């Protein structure tokens, strides 16, 4: 059984050669490999002794690394408090309740151990513990006024990339779609990515979150570059792709495509789990800069309408969105196809091969092939398209402009399985 990080080919990115600037905004410490979660206490002790551990009941019961993190905190002499009330999809009420239970006792660092919802809850608690006001004051991009309490993130699923990203997503009942808070101040101070923590991840969570990671990488790689965006720093959080984000996106696709197939067959194979978590982390870095696009914009209203998991929705949508934008991103799709060893053929055929490959992997992982399968109806299509078109921070990242009619066309095709 191999636990090596997958060997990767350097990306062949002709189209990015014209971009004159590149940048990375990542946690100052990123540790990857079996066993790194067991050092969480030592990493957290750099930031203080008063530690809040943020997690949920499932992780505390079923993920062995949870106890290892608490033991390590004990050994470093930390004064540890635990909050296990993080909830799936981060309802705003759950964050406010967690915050209220903290009272006036100071917290110096938060250790988050769990999936994306746990890490996002920790980021939002760090925000509330550092700045006055309500979470609604910070909705959108770059509204957080300054640094937040340090978060040490230990992911137990491979998908959201929240451990390296500047984003926290929450559900607010006052809005019809999920809300994101994106700010460079929400990037965790350390990401400890330990594939052993994902060994107990159930098959459906592995499939949905793994496909989510693959879509993060694809949408980041297909995003148009915006060479001037860097001059407005900090400004918008998502600044288009750049050669550094491309390196991470390409590495993610190369790790995830074979890794997801293998992890499906052998869920306890640490080598396969390593590839998928590595891909998910790389995809997180890539979309933290480039942003995500059409599949994510459509999934926000579809997720609200159907109550289906985020990864399931983006996985169903991805082949339809990719097919729709394919002629505007032929070179990029062909590059990815070549990295995955597609048979020699024309650029256009290689782009089609790549779209088919995403559909094939989704099917293999048990992802339904139509939106009808998750309860979307034909008369929902227009409203979904209208709601998605308002999420300009995502639609602007599409290589093909997406207005309401474009988005409705994609939804209708995905409904029928066209
Ligand atoms: Zn996603």
Q: Are the C-beta atoms of 315 and 211 separated by less than 8 Å?
A: yes
Is pLDDT at 17 greater than 50 in this prediction?
Answer: no
Structure tokens belonging to residue 322: 């990719």
* pLDDT grade for 170, boundaries at 50, 70 and 90: very high
Distance 139 CA to ligand 1 centre (A): 18
19 compared with 382, residue with greater pLDDT: 382
Report the side by side order of strands in the sheet with 109-114: 29-32, 190-193, 151-155, 109-114, 50-54, 79-83
The pLDDT value recorded for residue 9 is 52
Distance 162 CA to ligand 1 centre (A): 10
* pLDDT grade for 44, boundaries at 50, 70 and 90: very high
The pLDDT value recorded for residue 225 is 87
Q: How far apart are CA 335 and CA 304, in angstroms?
A: 34
Angle (deg, nearest 10), helices 310-325 and 404-416:
110
Place of tokens 């400004």: 235
Distance 227 CA to ligand 1 centre (A): 25
Is pLDDT at 118 greater than 50 in this prediction?
Answer: yes
Q: How far apart are CA 305 and CA 210, in angstroms?
A: 22
Residue 379: CB atoms within 10 Å: 7
DSSP 8-state class, residue 367:
-
Q: Are the C-beta atoms of 52 and 40 separated by less than 8 Å?
A: no
Is pLDDT at 18 greater than 60 in this prediction?
Answer: no
Average pLDDT, the chain: 93
Which tens digits make up the pLDDT trace of 197-255?
Answer: 999 999 999 999 999 999 999 999 999 988 777 777 777 888 889 889 999 999 999 99
Mean pLDDT confidence for 180-207: 96
Phi, psi (rounded to 5 degrees) for 51:
-115, 135
Task: Give the predicted TM-score (pTM) of the model.
Answer: 0.94
Distance 216 CA to ligand 1 centre (A): 6
What is the percent of the chain where pLDDT is above 70? 94
Distance 125 CA to ligand 1 centre (A): 21
* pLDDT grade for 1, boundaries at 50, 70 and 90: very low
Which tens digits make up the pLDDT trace of 282-341?
Answer: 999 999 999 999 999 999 999 989 989 999 999 999 999 999 999 999 999 999 999 999
Distance 267 CA to ligand 1 centre (A): 22
Instruction: For Cα atoms 196, 200, 202, give the angle at the middle one, nearest 5 degrees.
Output: 135
Distance 211 CA to ligand 1 centre (A): 9
């Amino acid at each position: 059984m191999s636990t090596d990080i997958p060997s990767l080919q350097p990306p062949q990115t002709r189209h990015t050669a014209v971009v004159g600037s590149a940048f990375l905004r990542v946690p100052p410490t990123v540790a990857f490999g079996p066993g790194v979660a067991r050092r969480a206490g030592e990493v957290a002790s750099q930031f203080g002794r008063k530690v809040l551990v943020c997690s949920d009941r499932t992780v505390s019961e079923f993920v062995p690394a949870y106890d290892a993190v608490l033991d390590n905190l004990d050994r470093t002499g930390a004064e540890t408090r635990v909050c296990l009330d993080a909830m799936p999809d981060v309802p705003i009420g759950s964050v406010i309740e967690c915050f209220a239970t903290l009272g006036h006792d100071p917290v110096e660092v938060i250790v988050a151990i769990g999936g994306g919802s746990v890490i996002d809850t920790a980021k939002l608690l760090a925000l509330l513990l550092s700045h006055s006001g309500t979470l609604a004051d910070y909705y959108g991009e770059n509204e957080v006024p300054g640094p937040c309490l340090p978060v040490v993130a230990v992911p137990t699923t491979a998908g959201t990339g929240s451990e390296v990203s500047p984003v926290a997503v929450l559900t607010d009942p006052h809005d019809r779609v999920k809300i994101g808070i994106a700010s460079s101040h929400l990037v965790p101070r350390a990401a400890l990515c330990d594939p052993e923590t994902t060994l107990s991840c159930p098959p459906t969570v592995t499939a949905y979150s793994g496909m989510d990671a693959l879509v993060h990488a694809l949408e980041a790689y297909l995003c148009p570059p915006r060479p001037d965006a860097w001059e407005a720093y900090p400004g918008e959080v998502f600044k288009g792709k750049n050669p550094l984000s491309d390196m991470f996106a390409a590495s993610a696709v190369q790790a995830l495509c074979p890794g997801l197939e293998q992890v499906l067959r052998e869920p306890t194979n640490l080598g396969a789990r390593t590839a998928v978590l590595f891909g998910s982390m790389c995809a997180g870095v890539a979309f933290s800069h480039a942003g995500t696009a059409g599949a994510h914009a459509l999934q926000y209203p579809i997720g609200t309408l159907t109550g289906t998991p985020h990864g399931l929705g983006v996985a169903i949508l991805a082949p339809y969105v990719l097919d729709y934008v394919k002629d505007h991103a032929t070179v990029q799709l062909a590059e990815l196809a070549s990295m995955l060893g597609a048979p020699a053929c024309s650029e256009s055929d290689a782009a089609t091969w790549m779209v088919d490959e995403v559909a094939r992997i989704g099917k293999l992982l048990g992802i339904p092939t139509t939106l009808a399968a998750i309860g979307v109806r034909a008369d929902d299509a227009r409203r979904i398209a209208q709601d998605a078109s308002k999420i300009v921070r995502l639609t602007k990242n599409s290589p093909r402009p997406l207005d309401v009619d474009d988005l409705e066309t994609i939804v209708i095709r995905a409904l029928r399985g066209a």
